[in-house]
Amino acid sequence: MCGIVGCHHVPDAKAFKPTALKMVKQCRHRGPDWSGSYVANSTILAHERLSIVGVDSGAQPLTNKDETIALAVNGEIYNHRLIRKGLETPYHFKTHSDCEVIIPLYMKYGIDAPKHLDGMFSFVLYDKEQDRVIAARDPIGITSFYQGWSSKMPGAVFFASELKCLSAVCDKIQAFPPGHVYDSKTGEATRYFEPSWWDPANIPTKPVDLKEVRESLEKSVRKRLMAEVPYGVLLSGGLDSSLVAAIAQRETLRLKAAALAAAEQNRGTATPPTLDEDHGEGLVGIDDENKLSTLTYLPQLNSFSIGLPNAPDSKAAVEVAKFLGTKHHDMTFEIEDGLNALSDVIYHLETYDVTTIRASTPMFLLSRKIKAMGVKMVLSGEGSDEIFGGYLYFHAAPDKKAFHEETVRRVKALHMFDCLRANKSTSAWGLEARVPFLDKEFLEVCMNIDPQDKMITKEKIEKYILRQAFDTSDDPSAKPYLPKNILYRQKEQFSDGVGYGWIDALKDNAELHVTDEMMKNPKPEWGSDIPDTKEAYWYRTMFDEHFPPHCAESVIRWTPTWSKQTDPSGRAIAIHNQKYDEEKKE
């Protein structure tokens, strides 16, 4: 991940530049490798870089040959090599950065450029000749992005990777909508991402094709191994992260074997392939079929998990890692570590949503440990529960129509919850998280499956079709992806899986910080957005310590549907198999 700031139609760009640099410095944690800026007319672009692809030459803002177009990007474009090869008009590329292709795409397609990108991104592009700014965000909102306005500077518009960059300058801030592109010519953002499943009223009727599900997820993981730096996988021990780890390990081993075979075949020739067998270093590339041809890898695929001592997810993660043969790092944290980090977590998350904070704190702690090991990119399993109805409250869906509508609603809201958590918890430490389940092609396949096939019954556990897609037990010659007990393990929300004592500690500490009297007298500036629990109240007060009141307009709270539970935790639902009360007694 990187950090970007864009300021357009400011009264005096040169005079405002020091302020813009202070703004972007607020998200330097996202891009600790280098800083850059561009100023022209009334526009300023500023960038904080985390180098993953084009490490040696991808400093930003990027510009075209005559510097009339400038671009600041946060993200990864997985089809950049195919775009370069397919350009009809020759373009002078200055770098090896995957993001530079956005400039020639804009030159050809204008505001339709984002339609041609396959990746996760948010960007601000400035066309000097037209005095025009284009800003866009990836289809699902994997990368965080905000837009702001200032009543002191009418006509000016601001963009930034994080809320905190805008909070001191703008008195109106909103999350930039995923799948949209803004054009300063009209002053409006329009939706460019228009998949067939977008309208929840269109209930799919296509039966599930398990092979198509499996192959499209495998392809998605392969795309996301595009890197020139050490990478790993987040392995909670749940179904989603375990599948991502299994596919990544298969691909890593396959490519490593192919590279070593090529090295052996070319041994003694004048131009042997570049490959350091001792350190596992290589360059990543994508061929015409959009498949990875080489890979940067560590000697073994590194996997990472975190939890309280003896956490249920950590035990499962160790089992998966042993089965797959990854080099596993089983991190632990104490409750006090998490409590001490809460204020920092809320500062980086820029939300006071209870579920997001609970789950983000362990991820925040883990990301710091991962970055300290020299790893800069990880694969993660976000998105699967929204696509397949994996949350336990989906058991209560009354019919397939309601089930489908809820999956569409959840996918559309991912940028406010799980994507926000994955992006900001990792970016806080200059670590990038990639999410294969949210690939455009995979979404097109899986969001168009007849929701009847996704419905949960006594015979079919949640996400049953995803489990079936990777179940090779009926083929004795096939190598299993995962142990059977992991493949059919029931859903644990991350904040539960790290250890049930974590949520209990949060509730207990909230009792110490928030009195009954405080609950009866919420702050007037909160308006109708009143916390309904002491834990929620506690988080809101910490949020207010970091951000002015108008920043709360960008926050939404996560709540389950078809359920009267007051706690959003998965274990609070009766269908949860874990006997929580019994575990508390142990």
**Annotated binding-site ranges for L-glutamine:** 98
CA-CA distances (angstroms) from residue 377 to 95, 244, 315, 421, 430?
21, 14, 24, 15, 9
Q: In Å, how far from its chain's centre is CA 281? A: 26
CA-to-CA distance for 110 and 94, rounded, in angstroms? 21
CA atoms within 13 A on the CB side of 284: 30
Could you tell me which residues are annotated as the binding site? 98, 234, 306, 380-381
Instruction: Find the distance separating the first CA and the last CA of the chain, reported in whole Å.
Output: 42
One-letter-per-residue 3-state SS of 29-86: HHCCCEEEEEEECCEEEEEEECCCCCCCCCCCCEECCCCCEEEEEEEEECCHHHHHHH
Long-range contacts of 209-213 (CB under 8 A, 24+ apart): 209/445, 210/465, 210/468, 210/469, 211/469, 212/445, 213/445, 213/446, 213/449, 213/465, 213/466, 213/469
Burial (CB count within 10 angstroms: exposed 0-12, middle 13-18, buried 19+), residue 318: middle
Q: 124 by DSSP, 3-state: which?
A: strand
Burial (CB count within 10 angstroms: exposed 0-12, middle 13-18, buried 19+), residue 48: buried
Burial (CB count within 10 angstroms: exposed 0-12, middle 13-18, buried 19+), residue 168: exposed
| 231, 310 Cβ separation under 8 angstroms | no
| 385, 391 Cβ separation under 8 angstroms | yes
- Check the CA dihedral 161-165-170-175 and report its sign: positive
**Strand locations in 81-214, DSSP E?**
119-127, 132-137, 146-149, 157-160, 172-175, 180-183, 188-191
CA angle 513, 517, 522 (to 5 degrees): 85
| 342, 357 Cβ separation under 8 angstroms | yes
| 72, 60 Cβ separation under 8 angstroms | yes
Per-residue b/e over 351-365, b at no fewer than 16 CB within 10 Å? Answer: bbbbbbbbbbbbbbb
| Residue 2 annotated to the active site | yes
CA atoms within 13 A on the CB side of 229: 18
Could you tell me which residues are annotated as the binding site for ATP? 234, 306, 380-381
**Strand locations in 391-482, DSSP E?**
432-434
CA-to-CA distance for 162 and 167, rounded, in angstroms? 9
CA-to-CA distance for 520 and 209, rounded, in angstroms? 53
- The closest of 50, 184, 45, 55 to 124, measured between CA atoms, is 45
CA angle 580, 581, 584 (to 5 degrees): 85
Q: Which of 2, 170, 446, 551 is catalytic?
A: 2
| Residues with a known catalytic role | 2
